[in-house]
Amino acid sequence: MRVGLALVAGFSTHLLQITYANWGDLAFYLGIGVGVAFYLLSVLIVRDVFHYGEVELKGKNRYITLGGGSFVVLWIMVSVLLNTLGI
């Protein structure tokens, strides 16, 4: 699920045209904001929709940290790839 949301976040960053050319110095913060918003959405889905807790995920607050690295790396890779290709 987090991988899918990372793809959506990367495409959203591109579709909203959050680039330095369009937004200037604000683009960095807007891009980070889009990524954080989608990550928070994934946390809410895991915690409130799927009702996964400490027992299912085998640790306290694992619904926040589990899959975070994959999300960040894939989100940045998709954003950079789409920005480089200029699609």
In a structure prediction context, what are the per-residue pLDDT tens digits for the chain, which is 87 residues long? 889 999 999 999 999 988 888 888 899 999 999 999 999 999 888 888 887 777 777 777 777 778 889 999 999 999 999 988 987
Please say whether the beta carbons of 7 and 76 come within 8 A. Answer: no
Whole-number pLDDT of residue 86: 80
Within a 10 A sphere around the Cβ of 52, how many other Cβ atoms?
Answer: 15
Q: What is the pTM of this model?
A: 0.83
The span from the CA of 31 to the CA of 53, in Å, is: 30
The span from the CA of 64 to the CA of 83, in Å, is: 28
The span from the CA of 64 to the CA of 59, in Å, is: 11
Whole-number pLDDT of residue 29: 94
